[in-house]
Structure 1
Amino acid sequence: MVLKWMSLILLALLPVLAHASMYMWVDADGNTHFGDQPPANASSRKVKVNAPEVSNDVSAQERQQRMRDFLSEQQKDREARQVDQAKAAEQEAKKANFCTKMRAQLKNMARLSTFYDLDENGERVYVTEEENEQLRKDFRDKVKQACG
């Protein structure tokens, strides 16, 4: 059983070990061992290890293609998320700029004593105090709704 596990480990490490020197020896209990250094207390022999040939069977190629397709989709999704994040950041910046201007207008409205409209002749027609208050309230509500 130990030999079986050692063989499996050796097979798994073959590509890595292909360029290294390998040694094989049998210990006092009769167990076979492999290593990259010869043991000091036992006789060993150098073993040539050939890396297995790469399998290019159809199923391996299909797995590779599926992996490439998966990675390509992941990249596309990542790029789409980045585009969406950039758009969201741009919209947030526009909203912040808009709100800054709206709040500045709101402060300016507080400084004005009264508002007016222009009639058909282009002359000023001042609104009543109640209409002044309603205009200020409506604009405050608009700012609050748009900007929080």
Structure 2
Amino acid sequence: MRFMFLAGGLLLALSSTAMAAQVYKWVDAQGVTHFGAQPPQGQQAETVNTVTAPARPAAAPQASPQGEPAAAPDQRSIDRQVKQQVAEQEAERKRYCETLRTNLAQLQNNPRVRVEENGEVRRITEEERQARITETQEKIAENCN
């Protein structure tokens, strides 16, 4: 029984290519492009690939009047989730940029910056402050528009 289905499927698949006729394309003396099953006499013609894409399944979404495909309900929920994630990432990036700009202002306007390391508070040197200013400016240039 499986052999019958396999043989039938194979014959069906091969029959579409066997029935496909050769199509020729040529341009006449007036510059008009022609297509035909027979090449013209005394004129060069090229063959056209007639393999077509498979037909769309009946359940495929059709295009809406605005030109956008009508999305399935689950696709709409996925789109909504992705948009929400993008909005959250953008909000997080804005908060990060705001923090960077605040830190840069503090570093530039206050020569006596203190940091806490290993539970101890110490004042950073001028070289450390300048390095942090440069690093912060680079981060702002990379991440903030």
TM-score by length of 1: 0.42
Structure number with greater Rg is 1
Structure with the bigger percentage of helix: 1
TM-score normalized with structure 2 length: 0.43
